[in-house]
Amino acid sequence: MNVYQLDYVVEKVRQNQPSGEQKLLKQLVGQDFTKEEAEFVWEKIGDHKWYIGERLKRDVGLKVAAIDYVENFYDAGIFRKNNNKPKSFFDKIFKPVSSLTRTYFVTKGKTISSF
């Protein structure tokens, strides 16, 4: 038996285990999140719990803060937008160009329609 292969398998299995934040969010909110997303949401829930506590002048509890944040404030699109890095050389070039092109034609359409 090769010990190194066993270590590799054990390490791969451990990597695929959910993080602490993922487990807690699944238990509190009942939703699955990726590891990065769970870390992001967990930090925001801590801030949200403090903010609600200050507004209500009492402790609201972690479960209430987590449910309130995920249902009323969390938008997965914001997380993906903040973590959406260009993947290739072409993405780095064509994203700004397409934005400029769109802006040009939108302003051109406004000036044409104003006549």
Residue with tokens 């829930």: 45
Please choose, from the candidates 79, 62, 71, the residue with its C-alpha nearest in 3D space to the C-alpha of residue 28: 62
Question: Tokens standing for 61?
Answer: 């509890």
**Does residue 40 contact residue 25 with C-beta atoms inside 8 Å?**
no
3-state secondary structure 62-85: HHHHHHHHHHHCCCHHHHHHHCCC
Dig out the tokens for 74 from the structure: 């969390």
pTM, rounded to two decimals = 0.57
Domain ranges of the chain: 3-84, 88-115
pLDDT in tens, the chain (115 residues): 556 677 777 787 777 788 888 999 999 999 898 888 999 899 999 999 999 999 999 999 999 999 999 999 888 777 666 665 555 655 555 555 566 666 666 666 655 544 4
Cα angle value 48/53/56 (rounded, 5°): 125
